[in-house]
Structure 1
Amino acid sequence: MTASHILLVDDDVELTELLADYLTTEGLEISVANSAEQALALLAPPARFDLAVFDIMMPGMSGLELLQQVRPSNPIPVIMLTGKGGDIDRILGLEMGADDYLSKPCNPRELLARIRAVLRRMQTPPSAPDTRVIQHWGLALQLAKRTLLFRDTPLELTSAEFNVITQFMQNPGVVLSKAKLTERVLHRELTAYDRAIDVHVSRVRQKLSKVLPEQELIKTVRGEGYLFIGEE
C-alpha cells in the first residue's frame, strides 16, 4: 500500500523536523514547508498530497490566508494548528473549509491520530459500495458517489459536511448528540470546549438554507444535540 503523503506547513523549523521524523516512522510520507508561500508552490499542480497540516500563526501569509487561497479549488483535507486560546481562529478555519484543528503545542501522537481519522473518513470502504439514494425535501443523498443533489444539482460539500448530512438523512426524526456526531463524522471523541462538530453542522445548515430557505431541516435540541426533520 502506498504511504499517505502529508504536507506540514509551519514556520517553526525545529517543530516540523520533529513532527516529520515521528510521522515518517509511523509510515507516512512527509513534505515540509516553512511558510505559506512555500506551501502554495508545493501544492501547485501536478502535486498530489493526501492531507495538509497548516499552522495558523505564521509570519507573512497566515495559515487562514493560505487556507482561503487553497479553498475551494483544492479539495485536500486540512488540519489547522492553533494557539491554546485561538477559539475564533479555530472557528474561522472550520468555516473556511478546514476538516479539523488541534491546539499547539501538540502531542505528535495526537496529531497522528487526527491525521488518521481524517484520512479514514476520506477513504472509500473496501466492502461493496452502498448504492442507496436517500431522499428528503428534494435532496438526494448518493452514498456510493458521496454526493448530495438538490433537484439534480450537486451541492458543494467538504468531506466532514457530507458525513454530517449523511448522519442526519439516515436518521430523520432522531436526536443525535454532539458526542455521537463527533465520533461518526470526525472519527474521534468529543473533547471539552470542542466546537468542531457545531461548526460543521452550521455550515451544512447554511448550504441547505440556500436551496430550501423556508424549511428548517436541522433543529437544535438544547442539552441533547441536533434533529433532522424528515418528510412526513
Structure 2
Amino acid sequence: MTNKNSSVKKILLVEDDRQLSDLVSDFLESEGYHVKQEFRGDNVAKKVQQFSPDLILLDIMLPGKDGFTVCKELRPTFNGPILMLTAKGTDFDQVLGLEIGADDYVIKPVEPRVLLARVNALLRRGELPQDGNEKSELSIGQLYVNRSSRQVTLHEDSIDLTSQEFDLLWLLASRAGEVQNRDFIYKAVVGREYDGLDRSVDVRISRLRKKLHDSNETPFRIKTIWGQGYLFVPDAWN
C-alpha cells in the first residue's frame, strides 16, 4: 500500500531498540512514508535540522537524553506532531508527556495498524469539519487566527502553537459560544473515538489556556462545562 499524498511525508523515528526500530521503519516505509532512524536522544535536535521531519516518533527511554527532555527542548522550534512511544503505562507518564508538548502517545507493544492510524491522524492537516461558510481566518476581540498560515496573535503578540493545539483552537473558536462535547472534539482533533479515559484533550486545553493568558483554575476564555465539554467564550478576548 502506498501513501496517496502528492508529497511524501517524512518521519523521524527515535528508538534505541534497533530491531524494533527496523520493524517500525520498514512498516511505515511500506505505507508510503519516508523514515529516518535515530537511536540516541542527544542526536535528535541535529537530525531534526538536517531532515526536517513532518512528524517525530519519540521513545522515552533513550541513551544520551530521555524522550521527555528531547520533547521539551524541541517544542520551541518544532511545531509538527510528536508521538511518544513508551513502555510505561501510568497516567503520570502520559500526562507528563502531553504537558511538555507531545501530541499523542502509544504504549508499547503496539499493533502496527494502531500506530499507523495514530500517525495518519496526527499528520492530517486542515481537515476539521466545516459548517457551511468556510473561513480561513477569525477575528474575535483581540484574538486573530489564520487557518491558512496557521498563525495566531493575541493583542498583536504572536502565539506559538503546536499543530494539534492550533487545530483545537480553530475548532473551538470557529464555534464560539457553543459547547463542544468531548466525542466531537476527539473525532475532529485527535482522530479517534473518546474512550472515557484519554486525557490528551484535557492537557491540550490546559496548554492552550496558558498560552492564551487564561486561567486553568478559574478559566474565563475557554470554559469547562462539566459533563458536557468545552465552551469558547466569544466576549472574553478584548
Q: 1:195 Cα deviation (Å)? A: 0.5
Match of 2:37 in 1: 32
The percent identity for this pair of structures is 36
Match runs of 1:88-127 below 5 Å:
88-121=92-125
* Match among 167, 173, 183 for residue 171 of structure 2: 167
Q: 1:19 Cα deviation (Å)? A: 0.8
CA distance in 2, matches of 1:230, 1:41: 42
Q: Does 1:54 align with 2:58?
A: yes
Match runs of 1:134-153 below 5 Å:
134-153=138-157
Residues 226 and 131 of structure 1: CA distance in aligned 2, closer, same or farther (over 3 Å) = closer
| Structure 1 unaligned regions, length at least 5 | 125-129
CA distance in 1, matches of 2:143, 2:180: 20
CA distance in 2, matches of 1:10, 1:52: 11
Could you give the per-residue CA deviations for residues 130-168 of structure 1, whole angstroms, max 9, x where no partner exists?
Answer: 654322231112222222211222211111111111111
Match of 1:127 in 2: none
| Structure 2 unaligned regions, length at least 5 | 1-5, 129-133
On the 8 A contact 1:121/1:187 being kept in 2, the answer is no
CA distance in 2, matches of 1:82, 1:195: 16
* Match among 214, 221, 224 for residue 220 of structure 1: 224
TM-score (norm 2): 0.85
* Match among 12, 25, 30 for residue 7 of structure 1: 12
* Counterpart residue identity of residue 11, structure 2: I
On the 8 A contact 1:131/1:142 being kept in 2, the answer is no
User: What is the DSSP-based 3-state SS (H/G/I as helix, E as strand, rest coil) of the residue aligned with 1:219?
Assistant: strand
TM-score (norm 1): 0.87
Q: 1:81 Cα deviation (Å)? A: 1.1
Q: Does 1:184 align with 2:188?
A: yes
On the 8 A contact 2:86/2:107 being kept in 1, the answer is yes
On the 8 A contact 1:131/1:144 being kept in 2, the answer is no
On the 8 A contact 2:79/2:161 being kept in 1, the answer is no
CA distance in 2, matches of 1:96, 1:225: 23
Match runs of 1:191-202 below 5 Å:
191-202=195-206
Residues 17 and 123 of structure 1: CA distance in aligned 2, closer, same or farther (over 3 Å) = farther
Could you give the per-residue CA deviations for residues 34-69 of structure 1, whole angstroms, max 9, x where no partner exists?
Answer: 2212433322x3422111100112244111111122
